[in-house]
């Protein structure tokens, strides 16, 4: 064991317990912020627990008192919640009301069908939203679902993390995600990564004891907090806070209280306007029919008014829209992007600016030391079996004799990499191999290590530990020959450095410090020439895209190891290293795609500016020829640093020609300012983040994107979408999917509008057709209207799932304020609606008047032979309407391209939903226009020669659409938007 079990007698400063430990009724409180200040015995007493945990019999009562250990306080969505949402849909109630009107008019068949249509809409929408909820439930897999606790007298039990309660004793080991806030009672080399909570990049070594009340969250080394990760070692702790009472829960609560308002998207606004407009039009149409008949409401007139009202209502539209969004969400899940809010799919299509982290998103987060500079020796170039792998390494590329002893300066540098480090590198060594390393005088020999090492910890520390391992000087090996740990001053994001005090085998104390150059160099005593050499190497490494760490060392002869300022003064530079985090192979192409699609990509990183610029050039974020202006590199509108950007006022930021493409040394506050600045410029932004401190920027962005692999639970909760692979390329794919979904929504909405518009015009224009008694006769029966609604849904659903056009990501993003009813859509709507209406009226009038017109009365109340011409004309109109609607689906799908050619016909044949729908429609039309009894039920009569009118009308509609698209393409100069063909 590398470190003895620590107990409450630790050297950490004691402090007397303060008031406020319990609530007014004497019960222990869940979620105090000062648990770190109390002796363990007091913690046990006030939580009614012991070092062996609680009894299983106490669990139900504690769960009832404290609630489940979850961050989200909202109850789960039940089946009836989804059902209630469907019952609130205005369109469903309209159809239900019209069905009731049909019953009131004495037509139970029509009334039953309309009510059934309403119920069918509710069922389909319910089933699809239920499927969406099941898809979103996959988010739970992104969090650690279980943990180990002690119960019933030291019995280790694996339980769901939501079942942990205050008083439980949590068992921690390397790789565990801490399930709740715990006060540590035992540690053995326990190191915890708290970056997602505190923002600190370096893991914290934990101990037992009492900590001063005023210590900051990151300095409470006797606590382990929910959502943090155990990097190495093991330990036990008593749970002091769960759920929303944890430190991460408090942040989540704050974020929930200030969360982004659920604003309606542009599609939602457009649909609401359309719904109310169509409802008003429906009422006007119905009243118009009644007014023409002087508000006399016999059966025929009432049925005509009902048909007129139905003619403008889009049955099935809500269902198709829901299906489109759900299927789009499932497709994005397949592409490793889990959508938490379905409506963000629409917003994604309008994104025109992306703010992205560098490490792990644009790069692989597999860091490796590739360059080492040591005073008096020069430069070593390091290579390994593969980039980022923790594997038995090879010597520097320079010619080095493996049996030559290490230079003292290089040896000191490697010791700093190994000992000033919280990462563990495991290895398998035979006893004879260990004995050969005892004198520490041999350079690395790849044959010594007989298996690949495994490292756990932050990427930067892993790279340094791997380098030490390459030189056969890992922390484990140094400890095995007598090096011992004394004290650690852990990494501080303000100071940007970390230091340790260690004792060598001879008993001498050493201080090792590592950190950013600007943090470590002021602590060193080198002359100006040495400092200049170090700075030159730092700039050289940064220019190569490397993250730079500077190492300092000194012999320590002081007494107070806790006095950080004293410990870290008077250091000597022992070298620096360049750490390479290679870009993901697909990142460059993804950024080129983004630029081609009119999307601006910005890198927000904590790295050195030169490092960020070099990486940006590699991935085509900056042009290869870009070079910061000497002496002014931090003030250009293309690249800057966080401190420089934060010093600008909003007016100064708005005056910049453009927002900086690169912001180095970036803080969470900088990210928030960047997003707000982009909003003032009218951008639609997507923001990536992983840490808890990224949550504010994720919330204010139009689309917040959390990292699924490295992201915190709070970041995920604040996001609209989660990347399960933390890959920038997935963002571009998600944007492409958002554009495809939006285009498909436009497709099926246009299809519905054309059909409804033609139907409404036919019904209202025919008000002048009357029977001998002067009552108007409807050109289409109510049941025919229901039939048309039914056959419209499958082609509309097919339009909603069309694949993306090849040119989709070659077009600029649509304006954020663009309505669904844009100029192009309105032009198509007007043309196709009037062509369709003309063909419907022409076929109806031809079939009607060739046979003498309407000669009977009360044609809808009873089957009258004198109305047979009307019945045959209705059958003709229904056939024409049904078939041109099928053709219209193809016109809408291909939009700007002809389909009466080999390529277009092939695409049509490949659309199986359309092909099946076409076969079903033709078959059903033959049946209803041939079988007398069925025709009568639908208010029609069988037809014969009228089929010639039907197919002639269909052919005219096909040719008219092809000519229209040819004419429309001319002013576009060939820049055709290809949609699904």
Q: What number is the average pLDDT over the span 198-221? A: 80
Task: Considering only residues 254 and 726, tell me which one the structure prediction assigns the higher pLDDT.
Answer: 726
| CB distance 879 to 942 below 8 Å | no
pLDDT score recorded for residue 256: 59
pLDDT score recorded for residue 833: 93
Checking 928-935 for CB contacts under 8 A at 24+ apart, the result is 928/787, 928/875, 928/878, 929/875, 929/878, 929/879, 935/871, 935/875
3-state secondary structure of 699: helix
* CA atoms lying within 13 Å on the CB side of residue 38: 21
Q: What is the largest CA-CA distance in the chain?
A: 120
**Res 353 pLDDT > 90:** yes
Q: What number is the average pLDDT over the span 21-42? A: 64
Confidence tier at 98 by pLDDT (50, 70, 90): low
Nearest 5°: phi and psi at 800?
-75, -10
Triad 531, 536, 540: Cα angle to 5°: 150
**Res 615 pLDDT > 50:** yes
**Res 686 pLDDT > 50:** yes
pLDDT score recorded for residue 2: 38
Q: Tens digits of per-residue pLDDT, 307-335?
A: 666 656 666 566 667 667 777 777 877 88
pLDDT score recorded for residue 381: 78
Nearest 5°: phi and psi at 386?
-155, 150
The neighbouring-strand residues paired with 371 are 381, 578
Cα 513 from Cα 497, distance rounded (Å): 7
CA-wise closest residue to 182 among 152, 196, 161: 161
Confidence tier at 811 by pLDDT (50, 70, 90): confident
The number of helices, as runs of H, and strands, as runs of E, in the chain is 33, 24
Confidence tier at 299 by pLDDT (50, 70, 90): low
Q: What number is the average pLDDT over the span 971-980? A: 40
| CB distance 706 to 698 below 8 Å | yes
Mean pLDDT of the residues in the chain: 78
pLDDT score recorded for residue 692: 66
Q: Among 2-6, 194-198, 406-410, 553-557, name the one with the lowest average pLDDT.
A: 2-6
Confidence tier at 19 by pLDDT (50, 70, 90): very low
Q: What number is the average pLDDT over the span 104-118? A: 71
Confidence tier at 254 by pLDDT (50, 70, 90): low
Q: Among 57-61, 609-613, 627-631, 966-970, name the one with the lowest average pLDDT.
A: 627-631
Task: Considering only residues 513 and 233, tell me which one the structure prediction assigns the higher pLDDT.
Answer: 513
What percent helix, strand, coil does the chain show, rounded to 5?
Answer: 50, 15, 35
Cα 963 from Cα 967, distance rounded (Å): 6
| CB distance 221 to 488 below 8 Å | no
Instruction: Determine how many CB atoms are found less than 10 A away from the CB of residue 956.
Output: 15
CA-wise closest residue to 408 among 367, 376, 433: 376
Residue given tokens 């082609």 in the structure block: 795
**Res 926 pLDDT > 80:** yes
This prediction's pTM: 0.69
357 is catalytic: yes
**Res 627 pLDDT > 80:** no
Catalytically annotated residue among 357, 581, 607, 911: 357
Task: Considering only residues 61 and 121, tell me which one the structure prediction assigns the higher pLDDT.
Answer: 61
pLDDT score recorded for residue 15: 38
Instruction: Determine how many CB atoms are found less than 10 A away from the CB of residue 565.
Output: 8
Element (H or E) spanning 959, and its range? Answer: helix 946-969
pLDDT score recorded for residue 316: 59
Within 8 A by CB and 6+ apart from 751, the residues are: 792, 795, 796, 799, 888, 889, 892
pLDDT score recorded for residue 73: 52
Confidence tier at 140 by pLDDT (50, 70, 90): very low
Element (H or E) spanning 928, and its range? Answer: helix 912-928
- In 707-850, which residue ranges form alpha helices assigned H by DSSP? 713-718, 728-765, 782-800, 823-850
Q: Among 315-319, 533-537, 838-842, name the one with the lowest average pLDDT.
A: 315-319
Q: Is 17 exposed, middle or buried (0-12, 13-18, 19+ CB in 10 A)?
A: middle
Q: Tens digits of per-residue pLDDT, 483-498?
A: 998 888 877 766 788 9
| CB distance 196 to 709 below 8 Å | no
Please give the C-alpha separations between residue 204 and each of 198, 219, 500, in angstroms, as whole numbers. 11, 9, 12
Q: Which domains does the chain have, with CATH numbers?
A: 1-112+141-258 (2.70.150.10), 263-334+735-972 (1.20.1110.10), 337-362+584-726 (3.40.50.1000), 368-580 (3.40.1110.10)
Q: What number is the average pLDDT over the span 390-398? A: 40
| CB distance 886 to 908 below 8 Å | no
CA-wise closest residue to 221 among 69, 417, 11: 11
Task: Considering only residues 135 and 727, tell me which one the structure prediction assigns the higher pLDDT.
Answer: 727
pLDDT score recorded for residue 28: 43
For the record, the structure tokens of 140 come out as 């739970």
Confidence tier at 571 by pLDDT (50, 70, 90): very high
Q: What number is the average pLDDT over the span 448-472? A: 68
Q: Residue 550 CA to chain centroid, in angstroms?
A: 36
**Res 976 pLDDT > 60:** no
pLDDT score recorded for residue 40: 92
**Res 1 pLDDT > 60:** no
**Res 894 pLDDT > 90:** no
pLDDT score recorded for residue 953: 96
Q: Residue 783 CA to chain centroid, in angstroms?
A: 45
Task: Considering only residues 838 and 973, tell me which one the structure prediction assigns the higher pLDDT.
Answer: 838
Per cent of the chain over pLDDT 90 is 23
Within 8 A by CB and 6+ apart from 413, the residues are: 372, 374, 551, 574, 575, 577
For the record, the structure tokens of 564 come out as 């950080």
**Do β-strands 547-556 and 509-515 pair in parallel, antiparallel, or remain unpaired?**
antiparallel
Assign 3-class secondary structure to 413-476. HHHHHHHCCCCEEECCCCHHHHHHCCCCCCCCCCCCCCCCCEEECCHHHHHHHHHHHHCCCCHH
CA-wise closest residue to 119 among 99, 133, 101, 102: 99
Task: Considering only residues 222 and 968, tell me which one the structure prediction assigns the higher pLDDT.
Answer: 222
């Amino acid at each position: 064991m590398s470190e003895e079990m620590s107990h409450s007698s630790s050297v950490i400063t004691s402090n007397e317990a303060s008031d406020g430990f319990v609530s007014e009724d004497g019960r222990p409180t869940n979620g105090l912020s000062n648990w770190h200040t109390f002796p363990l015995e007091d913690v046990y007493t006030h939580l009614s627990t012991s070092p062996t945990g609680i009894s299983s019999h106490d669990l139900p009562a504690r769960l009832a008192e404290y609630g489940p250990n979850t961050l989200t306080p909202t109850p789960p969505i039940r089946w009836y919640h989804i059902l209630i949402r469907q019952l609130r849909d205005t369109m469903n109630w309209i159809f239900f009301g019209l069905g009731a009107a049909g019953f009131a008019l004495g037509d139970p068949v029509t009334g039953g069908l309309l009510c059934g249509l309403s119920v069918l809409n509710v069922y389909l929408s319910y089933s699809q939203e239920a499927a969406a909820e099941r898809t979103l439930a996959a988010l739970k897999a992104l969090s650690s679902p279980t943990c180990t606790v002690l119960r019933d007298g030291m019995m280790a039990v694996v339980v769901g993390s939501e079942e942990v309660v205050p008083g439980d004793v949590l068992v921690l080991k390397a790789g565990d995600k801490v399930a709740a806030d715990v006060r540590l009672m035992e540690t053995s080399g326990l190191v915890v990564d708290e970056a997602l909570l505190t923002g600190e990049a370096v893991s914290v070594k934990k101990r037992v004891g009492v900590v001063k009340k005023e210590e900051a969250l990151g300095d409470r080394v006797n606590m382990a907090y929910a959502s943090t990760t155990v990097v190495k070692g093991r330990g036990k702790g008593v749970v002091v806070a769960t759920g929303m009472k944890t430190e991460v829960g408090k942040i989540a609560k704050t974020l929930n209280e200030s969360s982004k308002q659920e604003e309606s998207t542009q599609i939602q606004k457009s649909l609401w306007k359309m719904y109310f407009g169509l409802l008003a039009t429906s009422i006007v149409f119905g009243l118009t029919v009644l007014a023409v008949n002087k508000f006399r409401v016999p059966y025929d007139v009432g049925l005509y008014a009902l048909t007129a009202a139905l003619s403008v209502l889009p049955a099935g539209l809500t269902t198709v829209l829901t299906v489109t969004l759900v299927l789009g969400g499932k497709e994005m899940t397949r592409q490793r992007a889990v959508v938490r809010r379905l409506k963000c799919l629409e917003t994604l299509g309008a994104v025109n600016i992306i703010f992205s982290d560098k490490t792990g998103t644009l790069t692989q987060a597999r860091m490796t030391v590739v360059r080492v500079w040591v005073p008096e020796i020069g430069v070593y170039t390091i290579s390994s079996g593969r980039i980022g792998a923790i594997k038995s390494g090879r010597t520097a590329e320079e010619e080095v004799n493996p049996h030559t002893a290490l230079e003292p300066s290089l040896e000191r540098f490697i010791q700093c990499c190994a000992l000033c480090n919280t990462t563990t590198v495991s290895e398998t060594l035979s006893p004879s191999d260990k004995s050969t390393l005892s004198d520490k005088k041999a350079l690395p020999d790849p044959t010594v290590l007989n298996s690949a090492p495994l490292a756990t910890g932050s990427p930067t520390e892993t790279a340094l530990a791997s380098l030490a391992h390459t030189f056969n000087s890992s922390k484990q090996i140094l400890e095995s020959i007598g090096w011992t740990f004394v004290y650690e001053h852990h990494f501080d994001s303000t100071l940007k450095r970390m230091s340790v005090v260690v004792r060598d085998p001879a008993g001498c104390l050493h201080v090792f410090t590592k950190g950013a150059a600007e943090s470590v160099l002021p602590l060193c005593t080198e002359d100006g020439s040495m400092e200049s050499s170090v700075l030159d190497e730092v700039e050289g490494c940064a220019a190569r895209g490397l993250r730079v760490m500077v190492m300092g060392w000194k012999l320590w002869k002081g007494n107070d190891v806790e006095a950080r300022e004293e410990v870290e003064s008077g250091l000597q530079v022992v070298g620096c290293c360049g750490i390479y985090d290679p870009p993901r192979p697909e990142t460059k192409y993804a950024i080129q795609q983004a630029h081609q699609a009119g999307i601006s990509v910005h890198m927000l990183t904590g790295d050195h500016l030169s490092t960020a610029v070099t990486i940006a050039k590699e991935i085509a974020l900056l042009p290869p020829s870009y070079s910061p202006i000497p002496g002014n590199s931090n003030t250009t509108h293309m690249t800057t640093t966080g401190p420089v950007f934060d010093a600008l006022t909003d007016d100064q930021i708005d005056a910049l020609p453009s927002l900086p493409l690169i912001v180095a040394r970036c803080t969470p506050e900088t990210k928030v300012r960047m997003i707000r600045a982009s909003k003032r410029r009218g951008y639609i932004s997507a923001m990536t983040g992983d840490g808890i401190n990224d949550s504010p920027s994720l919330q204010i962005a139009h689309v917040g994107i959390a990292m699924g692999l490295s992201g915190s639970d709070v970041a995920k909760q604040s996001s609209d979408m989660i990347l399960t692979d933390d890959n920038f390329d997935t963002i571009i794919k998600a944007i492409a999917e958002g554009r495809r979904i939006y285009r498909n929504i436009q497709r099926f909405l246009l299809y519905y509008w054309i059909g409804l518009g033609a139907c409404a015009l036919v019904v209202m224009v025919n008000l002048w057709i009357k029977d001998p008694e002067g009552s108007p006769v409807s050109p289409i029966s109510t049941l025919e209207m229901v039939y048309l609604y039914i056959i419209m849904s499958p082609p509309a659903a097919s339009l909603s799932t069309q694949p993306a056009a090849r040119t989709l990501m070659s077009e600029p993003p649509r304006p954020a304020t663009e309505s669904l009813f844009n100029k192009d859509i309105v032009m198509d709507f007007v043309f196709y609606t009037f062509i369709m209406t003309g063909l419907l009226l022409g076929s109806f009038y031809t079939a009607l008047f060739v046979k003498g017109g309407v000669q009977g009365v009360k044609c809808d109340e009873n089957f009258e032979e004198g109305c047979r011409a009307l019945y045959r004309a209705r059958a003709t109109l229904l056939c024409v309407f049904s078939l041109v609607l099928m053709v219209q689906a193809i016109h809408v799908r291909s939009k700007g391209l002809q389909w009466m050619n080999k390529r277009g016909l092939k695409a049509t044949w490949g659309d199986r939903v359309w092909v099946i729908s076409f076969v079903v429609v033709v078959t059903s039309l033959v049946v209803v226009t041939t079988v007398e009894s069925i025709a009568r039920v639908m208010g029609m009569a069988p037809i014969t020669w009228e089929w010639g009118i039907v197919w002639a009308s269909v052919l005219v509609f096909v040719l008219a659409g092809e000519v229209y698209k040819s004419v429309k393409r001319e002013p576009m100069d060939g820049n055709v938007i290809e949609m699904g063909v």
